Structure 1
Amino acid sequence: MSFTVAIIGRPNVGKSTLFNRLVGKKLALVDDTPGVTRDRRPGDAKLVDLKFRIIDTAGLEESSPDSLQGRMWAQTEAAIDEADLSLFVVDAKAGLTPADQTLAEMLRRRGKPVVVVANKSEVRGSEGGFYDAFTLGLGEPCPISAEHGQGMLDLRDAIVAALGEERAFPPAEDVAETNVDIRPAAGEGTEDEEVEPAYDETKPLRVAIVGRPNAGKSTLINRFLGEDRLLTGPEAGITRDSISVEWDWRGRTIKMFDTAGMRRKAKVQEKLEKLSVADALRAIRFAETVVIVFDATVPFEKQDLQIVDLVLREGRAAVLAFNKWDLVENWQALLVDLREKTERLLPQARGIRAVPISGHTGYGLDRLMQAIIETDKVWNRRISTARLNRWLESQQVQHPPPAVSGRRLKLKYMTQVKARPPGFMISCTRPEAVPESYTRYLINGLRNDFDLPGVPIRVHFRASENPFESKARKRR
């Protein structure tokens, strides 16, 4: 991106609505309640012919540095320092307030380009608030409606005027044309080939961090990054938006999603919390590997087990992280207890990797990342059809399929139809009659014999086609 823009303003002036308008997606949570946004959220924006990086920030309110509002102010100041230009959003409908004057003075001291944006200018009677914005001393305000998309061309011109043509439109880099032969080499790419593809160690990895409120998810990500990138504190439920951050681990790009804490469904009553949980669920579906953060001082609450079950039903690779290990006294006894409970309470994820960590001190984070990589390898694994059919034959010898209604089931053929997670198809007679117990027997056998621990495994049965069926119909 050519430059970075931060959206600044007091609460409930429409900053997140403008952010969603510029990125073209409903990424940020929007609600009538003031103070919805707390962390700074980056995104890739496009405004007519401008392409830039944009940062949504929390509504600024003066408060003590130790309070939640004070920590939100610090996050917003970091976004202003990072950005090349600030969009100072004011509410043209409500007019200026003393908080707007305070923010204008702060931006003036920074000495960076500022564009004053008079939002909600489509409302009748907003002219007074628009003209009041001239008194901020930051230049001519730009009237827009973020909700309806009005005034976007004027906003584009104001950004170009504030930054300059050269900064807004950097020269494109010349890319040398190369002729690449995409044809497969001799003996490669044929349908009959049975090659198990190697795992790509350089591919970027998407990881979501989920768990109950106040389990230490944001603190864990900050420790990975080595900076206070996400808002943290002793209060439960600080995180609302699902914020993504990128960093490198041993030369590999990791895109990590911080999510809102998920409480039991019966306790989620407020609309804003429902939106936060829905955003967390979208992050789970988008991620490849999901780290479920447990509070080691009160592990295996009912909600913890439900979150793990949700992740597995979505087909994601799961890793357990027992956080706050620095608060545990008799850690050896607790480790034995956690291992026993993991095997007993999560039979659907037999062999799932669990790592004791401390987001506060950094203990165990390297082992956690190694567990994430190893689980992702299993999640992406493919097994050749020849090996699967040899395995299926041996399984039937050890434990033949049961007879249903006096007729023995016959499993004829097996192949892997997908990975991420591993999915298998078995051709058999009467697939609807295969008992659930025999399906579990096959899944457990796959998990043990092909080393597929801790990932969901899908097994589907399909009736084999009868080649003489069409001839019999013709005779009729």
Structure 2
Amino acid sequence: MAERPRPVVAIVGRPNVGKSTLFNRLARRRLAIVHDQPGVTRDRKEAEAIVGGRDVTLVDTAGLEEAPPETIAGRMTAGSERAVDQADLVLFVIDGRAGLTPADEHFAAWLRRKGRPLVVVVNKAEGRAAAGGVAEAYALGLGEPVAISAEHGEGLGELHARVAELLGPPPEDDAEEAEAQAGRERPLRLAVVGRPNAGKSTLVNRLLGEERMLTGPEPGITRDSVATPWRDPEGRLVRLVDTAGLRKRARVTGELERLSTAETIRSLKEAEVVVLVLDALAPLEGQDIAIATLAEREGRALVIALNKWDLVPIAERDAARRLLADRLEASLAQLRGMPVVPLSALTGAGVEKLVPAVWKAYDAWNTRVPTGELNRWFEAAIARHPPPLVDGRRLKLRYITQAKARPPTFVIFGTRSELLPDAYARYLVNAIRDDFGLQGVPIRLSLRGTKNPYAEG
């Protein structure tokens, strides 16, 4: 049975009326950054939620502002308009404390022309101080408003009831759909990370085939991690996450940027594959190495997208590739052989090679080597390069097993194997990587000694 599309519920309103707080409240988890500063949300953010008894796709949007289309505010409003056009129901949020503003009236008229089913939500309506704002909301002519406090969870029961009324009862086969949910494919979790202005959002838009993420020449446009369900060209399900740029810790200033940085790191930790976007005109700076090292430490598969490749003169490209390869070998030996995909997110050149590289890295990350094959390899590797002497005695490495995948983790057993020098352990890890095709994947190696039962002690 084909998967039934969920109704889309979009939350809209001018900046700082509490849209993201309401989004988090309805999603029942903190997914969007909430801050007193207006305009924190710049891209649409989606979550699956149950609202009014219905499984819905909940969409948080940027604040609606009257601004020229070429400005950040204008581009944010255009993104919110696309969300409204795709919505089955709109929650129009106004600030009950501030009361009705000319901007509210302007956008109410705009929403009326859109003709979407709509609920006026008067937020921050706790206490008597907001009563005037609730009364003024009737003047919008968009039906009876619902007074809530998203921060304190007040009035949500009425909001759920209104959503249920407008969306209608769930289809009769929803129970069957829920039963089938467990059998549905699980998406690959893919995070796109990098320094500010490396082209992450442009790349995500190119993959999605639409201007989903806000982009522009201004660095630091993306402030929150934005996850989007996506089917790649082969029809495989991917949870694609665009993230805020990561700067050096010393340069991170203010609470908002600290929140953005924390969200990016959380998204990286939750990913299975990480695409690190580098600027081909300034590849592999110190911060790029720090991000890649973090991905390796967290055990994520890594693919490098060398963006803005179209700006590198053709005559200089071979030299640029060699320079990057040398820097990767010197700085990220623990991820030796990781795939590097030169591309232009702006023009689309080379982007078609990125997704196959991601799936190849994902398959390597999930690799399990049969124990028999692994130990035949192990014997050959030891015969080719025997372990060194330690304290005048040769270590006896007996056998190897793979403890788990995601990332591949191996355990070597032997007499005094815990004394194995780091250089020899690196030899074994590199040989595993090369012989089993685990390029770009962290490899964990654990050493277990065997106790002599006749030893004193």
2:283 paired with 1:299: yes
CA distance in 2 between counterparts of 1:52 and 1:376 reads: 30
2:151 paired with 1:151: no
- Higher mean Cα deviation, 281-290 or 77-86? 281-290
Aligned 1:377-396 pairs, distance under 5 A: 377-396=363-382
Corresponding position of 2:227: 244
Corresponding position of 2:252: 268
Q: What amino acid sits opposite 1:219 in the alignment?
A: T
CA distance in 2 between counterparts of 1:44 and 1:252 reads: 19
Could you tell me which of 214, 218, 221 is aligned with 2:197? Answer: 214
Residues 3, 168 of structure 1: 8 Å contact kept: no
Corresponding position of 1:189: none
Aligned 1:129-140 pairs, distance under 5 A: 129-140=133-144
CA distance in 1 between counterparts of 2:312 and 2:127 reads: 57
Aligned 1:117-266 pairs, distance under 5 A: 117-163=121-167, 167-172=168-173, 175=176, 204-245=187-228, 246-266=230-250
- Higher mean Cα deviation, 217-226 or 71-80? 217-226
What is the CA distance between 1:88 and its match in structure 2?
0.9
Q: What amino acid sits opposite 1:377 in the alignment?
A: D
Q: What amino acid sits opposite 1:6 in the alignment?
A: A
CA distance in 1 between counterparts of 2:46 and 2:238 reads: 16
Unmatched tracts of structure 1, length 5 or more? 179-201
Could you tell me which of 337, 356, 372 is aligned with 1:370? Answer: 356
- TM-score, L = length of structure 1: 0.88
Residues 203, 252 of structure 1: 8 Å contact kept: no
Corresponding position of 2:405: 419
CA distance in 2 between counterparts of 1:333 and 1:398 reads: 34
CA distance in 2 between counterparts of 1:292 and 1:174 reads: 41
1:146 aligns to what SS in structure 2? coil
- Higher mean Cα deviation, 415-424 or 280-289? 280-289
What is the CA distance between 1:387 and its match in structure 2?
2.1
Corresponding position of 1:286: 270
Corresponding position of 2:42: 38
CA distance in 2 between counterparts of 1:228 and 1:124 reads: 42
What is the CA distance between 1:407 and its match in structure 2?
3.9
Residues 97, 129 of structure 2: 8 Å contact kept: yes
Q: What amino acid sits opposite 1:344 in the alignment?
A: A
2:12 paired with 1:11: no
Corresponding position of 2:61: 57
Aligned 1:330-369 pairs, distance under 5 A: 330=315, 331-369=317-355
- 1:16–1:409 Cα change, 3 Å: same
- TM-score, L = length of structure 2: 0.92
Residues 206, 345 of structure 2: 8 Å contact kept: yes
CA distance in 2 between counterparts of 1:130 and 1:203 reads: 43
- 1:429–1:124 Cα change, 3 Å: farther
What is the CA distance between 1:325 and its match in structure 2?
1.2
Identity %: 52
What is the CA distance between 1:224 and its match in structure 2?
1.4
Could you tell me which of 287, 305, 308 is aligned with 1:324? Answer: 308
2:338 aligns to what SS in structure 1? coil
* CA distances 1:239-281 after superposition (whole Å, capped 9, x unpaired): 1111122123212222211111101111012111111111111
1:46 aligns to what SS in structure 2? strand
What is the CA distance between 1:465 and its match in structure 2?
5.7
What is the CA distance between 1:2 and its match in structure 2?
4.4
- 1:287–1:90 Cα change, 3 Å: same
What is the CA distance between 1:74 and its match in structure 2?
0.2
Residues 104, 136 of structure 1: 8 Å contact kept: yes
Residues 231, 238 of structure 1: 8 Å contact kept: yes
- 1:274–1:431 Cα change, 3 Å: farther
Residues 206, 288 of structure 1: 8 Å contact kept: yes
2:446 paired with 1:463: no
What is the CA distance between 1:169 and its match in structure 2?
2.6
2:416 paired with 1:430: yes
Q: What amino acid sits opposite 1:216 in the alignment?
A: G
Corresponding position of 1:74: 78
- Higher mean Cα deviation, 243-252 or 142-151? 243-252
Q: Aligned Cα RMSD in Å?
A: 2.1
- 1:3–1:168 Cα change, 3 Å: farther
Aligned length: 444
Corresponding position of 1:440: 426
CA distance in 2 between counterparts of 1:328 and 1:396 reads: 44
What is the CA distance between 1:321 and its match in structure 2?
1.0
* CA distances 1:102-132 after superposition (whole Å, capped 9, x unpaired): 1111111111221111111114411111111
1:126 aligns to what SS in structure 2? helix
- Higher mean Cα deviation, 154-163 or 31-40? 154-163
- 1:464–1:124 Cα change, 3 Å: farther
CA distance in 2 between counterparts of 1:348 and 1:413 reads: 23
Asked which structure has the greater CA Rg, the reply is 1
* CA distances 1:281-302 after superposition (whole Å, capped 9, x unpaired): 1211221111110000111211
Residues 329, 336 of structure 2: 8 Å contact kept: yes
2:232 aligns to what SS in structure 1? strand
Residues 2, 168 of structure 1: 8 Å contact kept: no
CA distance in 1 between counterparts of 2:199 and 2:231 reads: 19
Residues 51, 164 of structure 2: 8 Å contact kept: no
Residues 122, 148 of structure 2: 8 Å contact kept: yes
* CA distances 1:6-63 after superposition (whole Å, capped 9, x unpaired): 1011111111011011111101111111111010111112235233221100111110
CA distance in 2 between counterparts of 1:290 and 1:301 reads: 18
What is the CA distance between 1:206 and its match in structure 2?
2.0
- 1:450–1:257 Cα change, 3 Å: same
Could you tell me which of 396, 419, 427 is aligned with 1:410? Answer: 396
What is the CA distance between 1:72 and its match in structure 2?
0.2
CA distance in 2 between counterparts of 1:78 and 1:65 reads: 14
Residues 18, 150 of structure 2: 8 Å contact kept: yes
